Amino acid sequence: MITIQGKGVSAGVGVGPLYFYHRHDSVVPRYTVTDTDAEWHRFKGAQTGAVEQLGELAEKARAETGDEGAQLFEAHQMMVEDLDYEEAIEQRISGQHLNAEAAIADAGEQFAAMFEAMNDPYMQARAADVRDVSRRMLDILAGTRPDTFDPEGPVVLAAEDLAPSETIQMDKSKILGFITAGGSGSSHTAILARTLGIPAIVGAGSALKPEYAGREVILDGATGNIVIDPDDMTRDRLLKKREEQQRLQRLLQTLKGQPNTTKDGRSIRIYCNIASPEDVHAVQVNDGGGVGLFRSEFLYLYSADYPTEEQQFEAYKQVLSDMEGKEVIIRTMDIGADKQIDYFRLPEEKNPALGMRALRICLTRPELFRTQLRALYRASAFGRLGIMFPMVASVWEVREAKRLCEEVKRELKEEGVPYGEQVELGIMIETPAAVLLSDRLAKEVDFFSIGTNDLTQYTLACDRQNNNMGRFYDPHHPAVLRMIRLTAENAHKDGIWGGICGELAADLTLTETFLAMGIDELSVAPRAVLPLRNAVRMTDTRQSGPRILAALESEYDTV
C-alpha cells in the first residue's frame, strides 16, 4: 500500500485502476527557411485547422457542460486568430526566417510568460491556455492527433497536467477520478471536475510514478489522499465514506435556502471563513449567510513587500461587492506566531505564540495598521463591513485600536472619501484574559468572535504547532467550553452578539452545546455550512440544553 498526499480540489471518493495519460511532447523542429511565404502559408493552414477543431470542441463542450465550457473553446479560437499572436509569429517567420513550428512555439511561450508574470492566479493559469492552442497548431503541422484516451473500462486518470482541450475530448463516463502531478485549484481540470462532480486531486508531485499504471487506486478528493494498492480495511473505510457522502450530499442539497432554525424555533447565523476574494464563490454555492472571518493575511503572505492601501482596498471592495450586502467581517492582519513574513523583519522570538503578533504589531507600528484601516473604511462604502481585531488581552488595546479607527474616519471625511457609517467593530476572543474581561470588553465593541484554536492553546498551555501534544491539546476541555459560555453570557449582558470562528464552530458534536450556550453565530469553512445547518435543524434545545449546561457547570467531573 502506497499513500500519496496531494491537494483535493473536487470532493468525492473514486476507486479503480490507475491509467496514465501521456501527451507526446515531441521536440519542436527548429530550422531557418528561405521561402518565408511558404512558411507563412503553412502557419495559416495550421491556424485554419485549429479554428475548425476548436469549433467542434466548443459544440461538444456545449452539449456536455453547457455554454460556459463552450465559451472557453471559443476564446481559444480567438487566441489562435489573435492579431498580436499572429504578428509575433509573422515577425519570427519573415524577420528571423524561422520555420512555422519554432515561430509558433516561441510566440506561444512569449504570451505564456506574459500571463505567468501577472500577479493574479487566474491570469497565471491562462498561460496553460496559450500553450494549449500553440500545441494544437504544432500537432496539426506534425500530422499527429492529440493522444487518445481509450481505456477498456472506467479508470482513475492520472497525468502530469491536463489541458482543457484534452479533458473535454475524453469520454467522462470512463473517468472515476482525476489525479494530476501539477496544477492548481483554479486550473481547468479542477473546475471541470467540480462541474461534473468527479473527484479530483492536483499537485500529487513526483510521488505519482508512471510505473503504478494499472494498479488499483483510491482517491479521496476531500482530503487529497491517494492510496495505491489499498488494503481491504482502507478500501472498505473509503467506500463506506463514499456511500455516506453521497447520501449526505443528496440531503444537503435540499437544505439550500432553508433557515438555520432548531426544532424549538431557535435560530443561529451560519457564516463562512475565507482567506481570499476567490473564496466568495464557495460561500455563495454553499449558501453561507455572510463572511464571519475574512483572513486578511493573504494580502501580506503572497506579497514581496507591504501591500499598499490601494491593493488592500481592491481586495476588500471585491469581497464586499461580491457578497451583495451580506455581512463581511474582515480580521485585521494576524501576522506573527505561526505566520512569519520576511519583510516585516520581526525580531526572532523564543516563544512566537506569546510574542509580537497580530494587534500587538499593529499598535506598535501604527503606520502599518493605519494603511489597513484606511483601505477597510474606504471599502466599507461598497457593502456591509465588520472589522475584527485579533489577539486582544487588555481593554486599553481595544480603546487604542478604536481611536485609530476614529482618526482614519476623520481623515477620510476631510478628504471627501466616502465610507460606510454602520461599520461594526469587534474583537477575537482567544486569550483567557479577554474571556475574563469580556464583561468590560463588551462595553467597547459590537461583537465577539471566539477563536477556539488559540483559546485552547492559551487556556491549556498547549502549543498548537507541537504535534506531540496529543490528548493534552483538547478543544473539548471543560475549561475551554466554560470560557466560551462565559464569553457568550457577557456578550448578551451588554446586548452585543457573540460567535465562534475557530475550527470548533464546525464540530457537529458540539453544535447542541453551542446552541444551549446561546451562541449567535458560527463561522465555518464554506463546505461545512450545509452539514452544520442540518445539525442545527435536528436539534431541540428544550430537551438537551439544560442537561448540557448543568454538566458543564457541575463541580464533579462527569465526562
Chain positions contacting another protein, by CB under 8 A? 68, 71-72, 74-79, 82-85, 111, 114-115, 118-120, 122-123, 126, 129-130, 277, 280-281, 314, 317-318, 321-322
* Residue 155, strand partner residues: 175
And the C-alpha cell for 524? 465555518
**Residue that has been written with the C-alpha cell 461594526 in this structure:** 424
**Given the complex with another protein, which of 19 and 382 has the nearer CB atom?**
382
Nearer to another protein, 115 or 447 (CB): 115
Q: Annotated catalytic, 501?
A: yes
Alpha carbons 184 and 176: distance in angstroms, whole number: 20
Q: Find the shortest distance in angstroms from Cβ 31 to another protein.
A: 27
Shortest separation between residue 179's beta carbon and another protein, angstroms: 25
Q: Which is nearer to another protein, 165 or 262 (CB)?
A: 165
Q: What is the spatial distance between Cα 547 and Cα 551, in angstroms, rounded to a whole number?
A: 6
**Closest approach of Cβ 120 to another protein, in Å?**
6
Query: What does DSSP assign to residue 152?
Result: S
Q: Which is nearer to another protein, 79 or 168 (CB)?
A: 79
Are 159 and 19 a contacting pair, CB within 8 Å? no
Please give the sequence-ordered ranges of beta strands (E in DSSP) within 286-368, or none if there are none. Answer: 291-295, 327-331
Cell of 419: 465610507
Report the 10 Å Cβ neighbour count for 417: 13
Q: Report d(CA 527, CA 97) in Å as an integer.
A: 55
Question: Shortest approach of another protein to residue 196 CB, angstroms?
Answer: 17
Judged by beta carbon, residue 82 or residue 424, the one nearer another protein is 82
How long, in residues, is the chain? Answer: 559
Q: Which is nearer to another protein, 71 or 554 (CB)?
A: 71
Nearest to 486 by CA among 429, 527, 413: 429
Instruction: Name the active-site residue from 272, 362, 405, 501.
Output: 501
| DSSP E strand stretches across 168-255 | 175-180, 200-202, 216-220, 225-228
- Distance in Å, CB of 26 to another protein, minimum: 25
Residue 319 CB, nearest approach to another protein (Å) = 10
Separation between Cα atoms, residue 68 and residue 70, nearest integer Å: 5
**Cα three-residue angle 29-33-37, rounded to 5 degrees:** 115
Residue 145 DSSP SS3: coil
Please say if 462 is a catalytic residue.
no
SS3 content of the chain, % helix, strand, coil (to 5): 55, 15, 30
Nearest distance from C-beta of residue 95 to another protein, angstroms: 20
Question: CA 390, CA 336: separation in Å to the nearest integer?
Answer: 11
Q: Tell me whether residue 281 or residue 399 sits nearer to another protein (CB atom).
A: 281
Q: How far is the CB of 341 from another protein (least distance, A)?
A: 24
**Comparing C-alpha atoms, which of 392, 301, 367, 299 is closest to residue 338?**
301
Least Cβ distance, residue 40 to another protein (angstroms): 20
The nearest distance, CB 134 to another protein, in angstroms, is 12
CA–CA dist 102, 32 (Å, integer) = 9
DSSP state string for 453-512: HHHHHHHHT--TT-GGGGGGS-TT-HHHHHHHHHHHHHHHHTT-EEEE-SGGGG-TTSHH
Q: Can you tell me the distance from the alpha carbon of 496 to that of 65, in angstroms, rounded to the nearest whole number?
A: 47
Distance CA 218, CA 158 (A): 12
* Amino acid identity at 5: Q
Judged by beta carbon, residue 126 or residue 384, the one nearer another protein is: 126
Give me the catalytic one of 22, 76, 188, 462.
Answer: 188
Residues 6 or more apart in contact with residue 481 via CB below 8 angstroms: 513, 552
CA atoms 359, 363, 368, 369: torsion sign: positive
Can you tell me the distance from the alpha carbon of 559 to that of 548, in angstroms, rounded to the nearest whole number?
11
Secondary structure string (H, E, C) spanning 364-378: HCHHHHHHHHHHHHH
Measured from the CB atom, the residue of 210 and 418 that comes closer to another protein is 418
Q: Which triple of cell numbers denotes residue 354?
A: 506569546
Residue closer to another protein by CB (options 320, 362) is 320
Catalytic residues: 188, 501
